[in-house]
């Protein structure tokens, strides 16, 4: 099971699609365009933040369980990022610290099931791929894909949110140790628009998969 991680606009969904096709497997996507709570959250984060985070948690657990059914399936966001995302919302007063603490306890209790035993309900990934993009690249991609509720010109407070999100992701990936990991430079490798860059990304991932199989 391969999971992708990265900030908003990093290209996770596109890479999940490309990678699943490359590996002859299946992609499992984060619920965004069909998410009934997400637009409400952007309109009123304090009211809907806790509900949204629990909605995402439930969907991610479903994806993890479904992705274990066959070989080399790809999930377009890691469950391990959820606490980072919600704690940031609390620190920026887009949720309460009490809600963040309750969510952290809930996530911790659920993640106690995550292990490599044969009887585990869910398991840790075999590989986490982090697509690292700069703050400027993230803003450009958010603007390009055009979801109105994500736009800084619609909500100027999102500028600080996105900037801090970028900073925290760098620290999060450096500390992540739940599985093998691989960083992709999303600024230098525009795998969405450039087929040559996509080939480079595939090669990096193929080499990592081969390395992990050898070590196993």
Q: Is 94 annotated as a binding residue?
A: no
Distance CA 34, CA 58 (A): 15
What residues pair up with 130 in beta bridges, in sequence order?
5, 183
Q: Is 88 annotated as a binding residue?
A: no
Q: Is 42 annotated as a binding residue?
A: yes
- Give the H or E element holding residue 28: strand 27-28
Edge-to-edge strand list for the sheet holding 181-185: 27-28, 74-75, 2-5, 127-132, 181-185
Q: Is 142 annotated as a binding residue?
A: yes
Structure tokens, 121: 């309900």
Contact 138, 145 (CB under 8 A): no
Q: Is 141 annotated as a binding residue?
A: yes
Q: Is 30 annotated as a binding residue?
A: yes
Q: Is 8 annotated as a binding residue?
A: yes
Q: Is 165 annotated as a binding residue?
A: no
Q: Is 9 annotated as a binding residue?
A: yes
* C-alpha dist (Å) from residue 44 to 31, 139, 148, 159: 19, 21, 14, 16
Q: Count CB neighbours of 96 within 10 A.
A: 14
Catalytic option among 34, 76, 126, 197: 76
Strands 127-132 and 2-5, bridge-based pairing: parallel
Q: Is 77 annotated as a binding residue?
A: yes
Distance CA 158, CA 150 (A): 8
Q: Is 120 annotated as a binding residue?
A: no
What residues pair up with 53 in beta bridges, in sequence order?
none
Concerning whether 76 is annotated as a catalytic residue, the answer is yes
Q: Is 13 annotated as a binding residue?
A: yes
Binding-site residue set for ATP: 6-14, 141-145, 189-191
Task: Just list the catalytic residues.
Answer: 76
Binding-site residue set for substrate: 30, 42, 53, 77, 82, 150
Binding-site residue set: 6-14, 30, 42, 53, 77, 82, 141-145, 150, 189-191
């Amino acid at each position: 099971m391969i999971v992708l991680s990265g900030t908003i606009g990093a290209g996770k969904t596109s890479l999940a699609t490309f990678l699943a096709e490359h590996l002859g497997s299946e992609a499992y996507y984060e619920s965004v365009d069909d998410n009934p709570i997400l637009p409400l959250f952007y309109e009123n984060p304090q009211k809907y933040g806790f509900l949204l985070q629990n909605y995402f948690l439930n969907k991610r657990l479903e994806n993890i369980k479904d992705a274990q059914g066959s070989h080399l399936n790809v999930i377009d966001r890691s469950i391990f990022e959820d606490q980072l995302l919600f704690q940031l919302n609390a620190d920026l007063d887009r949720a309460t610290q009490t809600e963040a603490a309750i969510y952290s306890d809930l996530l911790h209790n659920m993640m106690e099931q995550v292990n490599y035993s044969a009887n585990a309900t869910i398991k840790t990934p075999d590989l986490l791929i982090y697509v690292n993009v700069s703050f400027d690249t993230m803003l450009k991609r958010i603007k390009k894909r055009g979801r109105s509720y994500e736009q800084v010109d619609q909500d100027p407070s999102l500028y600080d949110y996105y900037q801090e999100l970028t900073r925290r992701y760098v620290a999060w990936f450096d500390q992540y140790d739940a599985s093998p990991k691989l960083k992709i430079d999303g600024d230098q490798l525009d795998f969405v628009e450039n087929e040559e860059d996509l080939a480079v990304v595939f090669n990096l991932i193929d080499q990592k998969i081969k390395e992990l199989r050898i070590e196993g």
